[in-house]
Chains A and B, each alone.
Chain A
Amino acid sequence: MIDILLDATVRAGTPILFATLGALISERAGIINLGIEGLMLIGALAGFSAAHGCGSLSVGLLAAFVAAMAAGAIHALICVQLRGNQIVSGLALTMFGIGITALFGRGMVGLTIDGFSRIAIPGLSRLPLVGKAFFDQDALIYLSFLLVAVIWLFFYRTRWGLNLRTAGENPAAADTCGVPVERYRFLAVSVGSGIVGLGGAYLSMAYTPMWIENMSAGRGWIAVALVIFACWSSPRAMLGAYLFGGITALQLRMQAMGTEISAHILQMLPYIGTILVLVVSTLRLQKGAGQQPESLGLPYDREDRK
């Protein structure tokens, strides 16, 4: 029972994990990205239609990444080069994503593909409790594990990662040291958006393997809140994403077992949970448990350098 629930937790948490990681990279560079919800949909549709058209899941995955990256580049251009309002631009990106996927997804409704299937890792997958949940999963879930590690190593063990973090903390100082702030910020938002797209692809190519209009259903917004819970660190993002995967899995399980509680009330749980978690993590931040990137949300203009 617990191993089944844990397995469902990881599967429900993975799209949120990709989305949180993508949002986190962008915020590390100082740019808020409220377009996550729209980017997930763009990734989901691009991935699904490419996989359906070419009959190849890898092509689908690539398409999801590239399409979401291209859409994210619009947000990057507006926030970084044009110094526009990051909140408004992010909302615009979400609306754009919802709209354009509804338009181009018309022909995809009702089609199916053979989604990613499970690959058991010999030995490890037999471990009690955690074996099935972590070592008998599809390739995308393994990719998410890898990303968590790679992103952490990138931020804390490479010069580029340091530069990127500095661009988000103190762009003027970074600029003085010769770090091309605009380039770092632009790339962080774009590549981060591509990773968010993979989260969308997980929904349409592994979780439900099909395209449904507006299928991200608020997961993008949960991811935006989880970045704060995660204190902008990728391993903690994993924890947060599985926390929400757990709530979703539990909620679905209760519905399947035919509980007295209304499905509508159960579906509220992830959103209520997110607000609670947001309040608690904001309080923790104020008590000094980590800090948000100092220049988060502020456009950088070299002319304003003091």
Chain B
Amino acid sequence: MSLPRFRTERRELNAPLLRFLAPLLSVLVALFVAGFLLLAAGVDPAAAYLEIFRESVGSIYGLSETLVKATPLIFAGLGVSLAFRMQIWNIGAEGQIYIGAMAASGVALFSGIENHLLMLTCMLVAAFICGGLWAGVAGLLRVRWQVNEVIVTLLMNYIAILWTDYLLFGAWKDPKGFNFPLSAQFSDAARLGDYFNTRLHSGFFLALFCALLLYLLMERTVWGFEIKAIGSNPQAAQYAGMKTGPAIVLVLFLSGALAALAGFSEVAGLQHRLIHGISPGYGYTAIIIAWLARRSALGVVVVSFLMGILLVGGDSLQLTWQLPIAFIYAFQGLILFFLLAADFFLQYRIRRVAGGDA
């Protein structure tokens, strides 16, 4: 028997350009494959893609909508990528967004502060701290008892979402809201400003500022160096005298706090009230963003913009083709599959071995 056999071999390839092109390539291949899925579901992929493009970046208004969608994604993506840096998996950004939205709304609805700046600062701080503590629980469990943080952060999403609904269907329900699960509208003091007669609000610039801050923190400070060192080799970091335990808790705190800012920015900048389903899965999309961005803070901004295009386009497809918005998840799943496959070919080559045992 001399069937051709194949063997994989590690290769020494140091091509940073390829490493950053691979995500782009994965998006393209995923677009191609998703086209067949659309075709099977009775939708013309070319028309659908053209519509996504036109609706999201084809006009000034479309562009502004894309930035509006990108805003929560940047916050949450930064949070998830910070944890990834340390090989900590924060799958709970979705729940942290809800916690942030709840905390900010609580302040907006019940504090009675009239000063604009003070009100917004209090809302932001409340979201930041509550989101941080929420995620910090998973960090403490992980450090204290090695409880798997993937499962804990994920399950806490369900709890956070149910908690929001508990308030919205109960104590926080707007008496003038025709029984819809909405809170009362915020006062003007609790609203972020918007620009150019679009829905683009200052939350977007806050997100960009956070990205810059995180970038500087990771690349220019000792703390950032420690995080990266612990992430790449926890044992070596420990020998070097770094305290991994407190670092893990702190990183999960910050990760949750950043994601919670997405909740703050959504209620203060966009909805001006707390609504049922305040995040339609931004926290899950954030995981994809963090992975595609190779955990770099500036990469998160770029990928969030791309995902914003997809979400705006997805909304429009939902209207014109009755496509369920959850279809976007299938697409995101495909992107990840292809990126994982691409990473393999960056690391290995496949060689054909002449018959016999490999």
Please list the residues of chain A having a beta carbon within 8 angstroms of any beta carbon in chain B: 34, 38, 74, 78, 82-85, 87-89, 91-100, 102-104, 106, 213-214, 218, 221-222, 224-225, 228, 262, 264-265, 267-268, 271-272, 274-275, 278-279, 282-283, 286, 301, 303
Contacts and interface: CB of A to CB of B under 8 A. Distances in A.
B336 A92 contact: yes
Top 7 nearest A-B pairs by Cβ distance?
A: A99-B330, A96-B333, A99-B329, A92-B336, A102-B326, A84-B340, A264-B166
Given A85-B340, A103-B326, 19 more contacts: A34-B150, A82-B341, A84-B340, A84-B343, A84-B344, A88-B340, A92-B333, A92-B334, A96-B334, A102-B324, A103-B327, A222-B155, A225-B155, A264-B170, A282-B147, A282-B148, A286-B145, A301-B10, A303-B8
Nearest to A102: B326
A228 B145 CA distance: 14
Contacts of A224: 151
B9 interface: yes
A214 B280 CA distance: 13
A87 B89 contact: yes
B330 A95 contact: yes
Nearest to A214: B326
B330 A103 contact: yes
Give the residue among A78, A83, A92, A221 with the most B Cβ atoms within 10 A: A92
A99 B170 contact: no
B62 to A, nearest CB: 23
A94 B141 CA distance: 25
Given A74-B337, A88-B340, A99 B158 contact: no
B165 interface: yes
Give the residue among B148, B334, B336, B343 with the most A Cβ atoms within 10 A: B336
B222 interface: no
Contact of B337 (A89, A213, A221, A303): A89
A20 B114 CA distance: 53
Given A264-B163, A271-B158, A98 B148 contact: no
Contact of B151 (A84, A96, A278): A278
B240 interface: no
B159 interface: yes
Contact of A279 (B147, B336, B341): B147
B336 A267 contact: no
B312 interface: no
B158 A268 contact: yes
A84 B333 contact: no
Nearest to A304: B10
A74 B330 CA distance: 14
B158 A103 contact: no
Contacts of A221: 151, 154-155
23 contacts: A78-B340, A82-B344, A84-B341, A85-B340, A87-B89, A87-B150, A88-B291, A88-B336, A89-B336, A89-B340, A92-B332, A94-B333, A95-B288, A95-B336, A96-B333, A98-B326, A98-B330, A99-B328, A103-B326, A264-B169, A271-B158, A271-B159, A274-B151
A83 B344 contact: yes
Interface string B18-45: 0000000000000000000100110000
Contacts of B291: 88
A227 to B, nearest CB: 10
Give the residue among A89, A96, A213 with the most B Cβ atoms within 10 A: A96
B333 A93 contact: yes
Contacts of A268: 158-159, 162-163
B241 to A, nearest CB: 26
Interface string B132-149: 000000000100011110
B75 interface: no
A87 B324 CA distance: 26
Contacts of B82: none
A34 B287 CA distance: 14
Interface in B139-191: 141, 145-148, 150-152, 154-156, 158-159, 162-163, 165-166, 169-170
B325 to A, nearest CB: 8
A87 B40 CA distance: 29
B340 A92 contact: yes
Contacts of A104: 40-41
Given A74-B337, A262-B170, A275 B163 contact: no
B163 A95 contact: no
A46 to B, nearest CB: 14
Nearest to A92: B336
A19 B110 CA distance: 44
A176 to B, nearest CB: 14
Contacts of B326: 98-99, 102-103, 213-214
Contacts of A278: 147-148, 151-152
A275 B166 CA distance: 20
B204 interface: no
